[in-house]
Structure 1
Amino acid sequence: MATTTQPGPRERLLTAAQELFYARGPAVGVDALLKEANVARRSLYEHFGGKDGLVAAVLRRAADEDLAWYEQALAGSTDPRRRLLGLFDRLDELVSNDEFRGCRYFASDLTFADPDHPAHAETEAFRQRLRELLVRELKALGHRRPARAAEQLHLLIEGTLVMGATQDGQRPARAARDLAALVLD
């Protein structure tokens, strides 16, 4: 007889928090998190030290998943220019999805006003990793100013995510793709 192992409290908290933070924002209450994860309050403190630790852990986990998504989005071609422009095509698909709720990193930065909140270190770490990925691609392209161009592309990506969450039907990634072509040229 096969047995199915259920995830433990730590994993249930991470999964519930990642889903709730994205759907309702990172300010979602602890009681809602505990109910969704079906765990006792003690589990939150044992595994994460409190909600702030859970927020940071969720952002770290989401960052790994999101960066894997960016890598996959870039994998559509061997030509660096097409790879980077194709990224904006994939962003168009992402922000056009009815379930898209915006950028989790931007939402976290806005939610937690305290500059020392652990969420800010995680959002900055994610953004740094994304810029490094862009610099890598721009170097492969032979761009003469890869760090500067990565900043510009990153701005277009962030703008696409924000506009995609607030501008129904506007397709901001298409406009961003046109601007990205100028940055690449």
Structure 2
Amino acid sequence: MTTSAKPGPRERLLLAAQELTYTQGVGIGVDALLKAAGVARRSLYEHFGGKDGLIAEMLRRSTAEDEERYRATMAEAGDDPRVRLLAVVDRLGRIASDADFPGCRYLAADLALSDRDHPAHEVTRAYRRTLHGLFVDEFVAIGHARPEFAADQLLILVDGLLAAGATRPGSRPAAASRELAEHIIDSGLGA
């Protein structure tokens, strides 16, 4: 007979925060987080110093997972940088087209946390810098005339695609985003 070890309080808090903040936002109450994690309030303060620390650490974990998904999507698309960039947009389009899509956790956190010094903001900024770097590398590889600017444009497109998917059901953000991504990519080629 085998028994699986129940995750410790730190892990349970992170898992609860990942789930609840994604579906209900970062404004979720501490009591709801503690109840979902099945831990005492003391565990929150011992492991994270409070809710702000938990939110920042949860976002660090989520960004690492999502960065890996971006990399995997691009790797699965092959070696052509244009195809790799469009694969990212297509994947996000499928996600945003889901009727139950709650939106981008990072955009939602940035908008909900009005304190510009909240530790979560540095996590989301670092995440976007990483994505920007991934996109720049692809634009450089494809020979785009303005790879940094094109990566800026693609990040704006990604934010817009995810926001539209959450706020405007039926707006077909996937198709519109795909066409805009093709324009961003192709406008800097052969210039």
Which TM-score tier does this pair reach, normalised by the shorter chain? over 0.9
Aligned to 1:138: 139
* Correspondences of 1:63-82 after superposition (within 5 Å): 63-75=63-75, 76-82=77-83
Q: Which runs of 5+ in 1 are unaligned?
A: none
- Using the TM superposition, name which of 9-18 and 166-175 deviates more: 166-175
How many correspondences in the alignment? Answer: 185
Aligned to 1:149: 150
- Deviation beyond 2 Å, 4+ runs, structure 1: none
User: For residues 105 and 96 of structure 1, what CA distance do their matches in structure 2 show?
Assistant: 18
Deviation for aligned residue 1:131: 0.4
Q: Percent identity?
A: 56
Tell me, yes or no, if the aligned pair for 1:88 and 1:174 is still in contact at 8 Å: no
TM-score norm. by structure 2 comes to 0.93
Q: Which runs of 5+ in 2 are unaligned?
A: 187-191
Deviation for aligned residue 1:167: 1.2
User: For residues 145 and 132 of structure 2, what CA distance do their matches in structure 1 show?
Assistant: 16
Aligned to 2:189: none
Give 1:166's aligned amino acid: T
TM-score norm. by structure 1 comes to 0.96
List per-residue Cα deviations over 1:20-52 (Å, max 9, x = no partner).
000000000000000000000000000000000
Deviation for aligned residue 1:109: 1.0
Give RMSD over aligned pairs. 1.0
User: For residues 84 and 91 of structure 1, what CA distance do their matches in structure 2 show?
Assistant: 11
Aligned to 1:36: 36
Tell me, yes or no, if the aligned pair for 2:97 and 2:173 is still in contact at 8 Å: no
Tell me, yes or no, if the aligned pair for 2:81 and 2:139 is still in contact at 8 Å: yes
User: For residues 129 and 8 of structure 1, what CA distance do their matches in structure 2 show?
Assistant: 30
